[in-house]
Amino acid sequence: MHLIYARFFTKALRDLGYLKFNEPFTKLFNQGMLHGNDGYVMSKSRGNVVLPEEVSKKYGIDTARLFLMSIASPDKDLQWSDKGIEGSSRFINNIISYFNGYKPKEKLDKKLEHKMNKTIKLVTEYIEDFKYNLAIIQIREFFDSLPKNSDKKSAEAFLKLLSPFCPHISEELWHKIGNKTFISLEDWPKYNPKKINEEFEKQEELQELLLKDIRTVAGLIKSKNHKKLFIYVIPKEESMYKNFINKINILGYETKIFSLSDKNIYDPQNKSKKAKPGKPALYLE
């Protein structure tokens, strides 16, 4: 019905001479329906509607926006989830905590510069294609890659990318880091293709593959008694994986990375023999 209203008023204003165009939209995309916790499409008649004002009061409306645009592809029906919105709330709270007491560094790290430019490129493309869920995934990954007190350029780029999804908190944090303008009136960030480094891209793929392998091994063992994780890598890849250790630690293991050339290597089951380029060997203890 909203589409009918929009077209009616546009054409009425056109006939009255106030407008010089015939249609209210230059580009229109109709998203899927939202289902309630009971599995049915939300409707007042069913009584399964989650009221926006209740969500806003508990979480803030930015949390609701972020959650709804991240749970599924917009051309498919969506399922409301109380656990899901809790996850979005935690992410926003993490962002707020990050910018509390933020003091920018002057130097932009080359690896972070690569990540920033790659993220701007992908998020821009995904938004233009209405793939908001994929855009949010990239924004989350960019946030995870920000070091404590990153350079201001990276911080500003992150907030600009976040602002279409979380406009209220983005605006507040934009001012919190020293800006006087409105982020909603700022130019959209542009990426520099020359700053996107294929080597860093390959490293990220290998690191994500390692995380997947760790989860697979842990799933096969199916034991909660393992507390230590030992990773064996070829010498030239040692620094790459050690720079990634903070993400590995999130999995909950006490982690140690050994190069195959390390004389003090701890390898009671000779797992290190299985290590190959781009494919570390693993041992849980």
pLDDT tens, residue by residue, 167-203: 999 999 999 999 999 999 999 999 999 998 888 888 8
Q: Tokens 């609701």 appear where?
A: 64
Q: Do 129 and 177 lie in a common domain?
A: yes
Closest CA to 48 of 89, 82, 2, 87: 82
Q: The domain spanning residue 158 has which CATH number? A: 1.10.730.10
Q: What is the pLDDT of residue 244?
A: 78
The residue assigned the tokens 């480094």 is 197
Asked whether residue 204 is assigned to any structural domain, the reply reads no
Structural domain ending residue among the three candidates 65, 93, 121: 93
Predicted local distance difference test score (pLDDT) of residue 72: 62
User: How, if at all, do strands 78-79 and 228-233 pair?
Assistant: unpaired
Give backbone dihedrals phi and psi of 97, rounded to 5 degrees, phi first.
-65, -35
Q: What was the pLDDT predicted at 269? A: 92
Do 191 and 134 lie in a common domain?
yes
The answer as to whether 210 is a domain residue is: no
* Domain span holding position 56: 2-18+31-93
Whether the CB-CB separation of 111 and 196 falls below 8 Å is answered with no
pLDDT of residue 83: 72
Instruction: Answer yes or no: do 87 and 111 share one domain.
Output: no
Asked if residue 120 and residue 84 are part of one domain, the reply reads no
Same domain, 229 and 278: yes
First to last CA, the chain: 61
Residue 32: what pLDDT? Answer: 67
Asked if the structure places residue 191 within a domain, the reply is: yes
Do 183 and 257 fall within a single domain?
Answer: no
Give the pLDDT confidence score for residue 261 in this predicted structure. Answer: 92
Report residues of the chain scoring pLDDT below 50: none
Residue 96 identity (one-letter amino acid): I
Is 242 part of a structural domain of the chain? yes
Cα-Cα-Cα-Cα dihedral sign, residues 39, 132, 2, 182 = positive
Judge if 109 and 80 occupy the same domain: no
Q: What is the pLDDT of residue 6?
A: 94
Q: Is residue 263 part of a domain?
A: yes
Whether 201 maps to a domain, the answer reads no
State both tokens at 137. 């995934």
Question: 142 near 158, Cβ under 8 Å?
Answer: yes
Number of domains in the chain: 3
* Same domain, residue pair 38 and 70: yes
State residue 157's pLDDT score. 96
Q: Is residue 251 part of a domain?
A: yes
| pLDDT at res. 2 | 82
In a domain, 203, yes or no: no
Do 50 and 73 fall into the same domain?
Answer: yes
Phi and psi based region of residue 222 (left: phi greater than 0; alpha: psi -120 to 50; beta: remaining):
left
- Per-residue pLDDT at 130: 85
Which residue in the block uniquely carries the two structure tokens 């350079």?
151
| pTM, rounded to two decimals | 0.72
Choosing from 127, 160, 195, the residue where a domain stops is 195
